[in-house]
Each structure stands twice: as structure tokens, then as C-alpha cells.
């Protein structure tokens, strides 16, 4: 193995540290406490774990955390009434509805109900449009986290060939937009892409967000490339009965033998998501009060 392993866990801790410093200053200088509201509908166990983790990290950086848990049979009307209340609440700068929501609710309508200025998940059509137009909005957390890792690793990305595998609204499309803003030459690959391995071999920056364990093999990677593995697949642990193990979209050992730098799974991209959620909440709070945005924590 020759590649540098990009320490997303450590980087995320550093981002949270920066956020915490800004929060301390906002409180001291302006009497503002950034606030994040998380809405959970139903009792999905994985969602409960995510929400608990978001709450813990929000409090740790000194922000206010508002948790709203609604029963699984909550009507759209009731959920929208809560979102409207949070939209109007000046103590709330960021609003996130934990997905998936129960089947009778439409995720797109839920996102559309959130004030775009408080849409810290960056999922609304307004924020997607702002990003595509090169204007300031709030950027989806995981691609923002990948951008931070890439900036740290590469500095100037101008002119580099970037290939993003996956074209979801949540990740692939915003990631491609961000790389375009960095002046990369961007290719978006997906399930209909022909000769995917060949396309990947062009990439100075290869970002995989598919959800197919170890799909990207070492011989798909250009020597010296930077590889960002977003995929998460949970499999039964081969050595520990009853336990599970996470695999990325990239075959780590073979890719690390050729790449210059690579994110591991777990401990790479994953921890950056909540860190960027907190960064977005801080950004939203600064904007709401007409204050300068925190440097290095936005796209």
C-alpha cells in the first residue's frame, strides 16, 4: 500500500472544533446561539441513532439542539405545521427532517416546506439551483465534506479531471457542481455509463457514491489519483458472528496500491457529514444576522 489514508474522522473533529470556536465568538460578541432543529417522524432505529448522534454533536459545539419526535402516523398537515413554526422561530437557524419518512409522506414536499435559508441539508430545489447557478446557498452536507477533504489534500484543483460515479440529488449532482466550481473537468458516471473502468482511469479525482461494495477495483484507478469513497454497504462480519462490517464502493487494498491518497470506509467521508451539518447551521446563523460567513466552512 502506498497511498496516504485521508483521515476523515480527524478532519471532522477539526471542523467541529472550528465550528465551536465560531459559536463561542458569536455568543460572546453578538449574543447569538446558532440553533439546529431535527425532526424525526416514526421510530426507525437507524434514524434514532443518527438523530441522537446529531443532537450530541450539536450540543458539543455549543449550539442549541431542538429535537422533535413525531409518531409514525403523523399527517402531512401536522408535520407542515411544525415546519412552519420552526421556519418562523428566530432561535432556529437550521432545520433537518430525518429521512426516510414513513411512506404516506412525500420527502420532496417535506424538503420544499423548509425555508431554503434554514435548509441545512441543502436538499431543496432552491439550494440545488443556487449551487448550479454558482450562487451562495446551503450545500448538501456529504459533498461539502468531500470538498473540504479534497481542498485539504490537493489545494488548487484547477484543470484536474474529476469523475463522480453516481448522480443522486443528495450526493452525485452537488458533488459534480462543487468540483466544477473548483475548475475541474467533471464527468458524471452512472449505471448507464459505458466502459466505466476506462472513464474512471481518466480521473485525477475519483469520487464513488454508488452503494455497491468494492465495485471500483485498483486497475480502475489512475496512478497518483485522489480517491474519495462515499459508498456504504453493511455486510455480515466475516470473522465476528452477529456483527456487521462496513464496505465502501472502492476495493481499498488494490486502490490504495495505486492512488496517491484515499479515504477509508469507515472513518473517511462518513464523519464529515454531521460536521458539515453543523458548519451549515453556523453559516445559516451568520447569514440570518447579516454577519460574515465562517471562512473555510462553506463551499
Residues in contact with ligand NAP by the rule CB under 6 A: 142, 165-168, 170-172, 189-193, 196, 209-212, 230-232, 269-270, 273
Q: Find out whether 51 and 40 touch, Cβ atoms under 8 Å.
A: yes
Give min distance, CB of 107 to ligand NAP, in A: 12
Q: How far is the CB of 233 from ligand NAP (least distance, A)?
A: 6
Q: Which is nearer to ligand NAP, 209 or 279 (CB)?
A: 209
Q: Which CB atom, from 35 or from 248, has the smaller least distance to ligand NAP?
A: 248
**Minimum distance, C-beta of residue 296 to ligand NAP, in the bound complex (Å):** 20
Nearest to ligand NAP of 137, 166 (CB atom) = 166
- Whichever of 80 and 99 has its CB closer to ligand NAP, that residue is 99
Q: What residues are labeled active site?
A: 54, 98, 121
* Minimum CB–partner distance for residue 225 and ligand NAP (Å): 17
Strands 261-262, 226-229: pairing is: parallel
Amino acid at each position: 500500500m502506498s497511498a496516504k489514508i485521508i483521515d476523515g474522522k480527524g478532519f471532522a473533529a477539526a471542523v467541529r472544533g472550528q465550528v465551536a470556536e465560531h459559536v463561542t465568538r458569536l455568543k460572546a460578541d453578538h449574543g447569538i446561539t446558532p440553533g439546529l432543529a431535527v425532526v424525526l417522524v416514526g421510530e426507525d432505529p437507524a434514524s434514532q441513532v443518527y438523530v441522537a448522534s446529531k443532537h450530541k454533536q450539536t450540543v458539543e459545539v455549543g449550539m442549541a439542539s431542538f429535537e422533535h419526535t413525531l409518531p409514525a402516523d403523523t399527517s402531512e398537515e401536522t408535520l407542515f405545521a411544525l415546519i412552519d413554526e420552526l421556519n418562523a422561530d428566530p432561535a432556529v437557524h437550521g432545520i433537518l427532517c430525518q429521512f426516510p419518512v414513513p411512506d404516506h409522506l412525500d420527502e420532496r414536499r417535506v424538503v420544499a416546506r423548509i425555508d431554503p435559508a434554514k435548509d441545512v441539508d441543502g436538499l431543496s430545489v432552491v439550494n440545488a439551483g443556487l449551487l448550479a447557478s454558482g450562487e451562495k446557498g446551503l450545500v448538501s452536507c456529504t459533498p461539502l465534506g468531500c470538498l473540504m477533504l479534497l481542498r485539504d489534500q490537493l489545494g488548487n484543483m484547477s484543470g484536474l479531471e474529476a469523475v463522480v460515479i453516481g448522480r443522486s440529488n443528495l450526493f452525485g449532482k452537488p458533488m459534480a457542481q462543487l468540483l466544477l466550481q473548483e475548475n475541474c473537468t467533471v464527468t458524471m458516471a452512472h449505471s448507464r455509463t459505458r466502459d466505466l473502468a476506462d472513464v474512471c482511469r481518466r480521473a485525477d479525482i475519483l469520487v464513488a457514491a454508488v452503494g455497491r461494495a468494492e465495485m471500483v477495483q485498483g486497475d480502475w484507478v489512475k496512478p497518483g489519483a485522489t480517491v474519495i469513497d462515499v459508498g456504504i454497504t453493511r455486510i455480515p462480519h466475516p470473522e465476528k458472528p452477529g456483527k456487521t462490517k462496513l464496505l465502501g464502493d472502492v476495493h481499498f487494498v488494490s486502490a490504495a496500491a495505486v492512488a496517491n491518497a484515499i479515504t477509508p470506509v469507515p472513518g473517511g467521508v462518513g464523519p464529515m457529514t454531521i460536521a458539515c451539518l453543523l458548519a451549515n447551521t453556523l453559516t445559516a446563523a451568520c447569514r440570518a444576522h447579516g454577519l460574515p460567513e465562517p471562512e473555510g466552512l462553506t463551499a
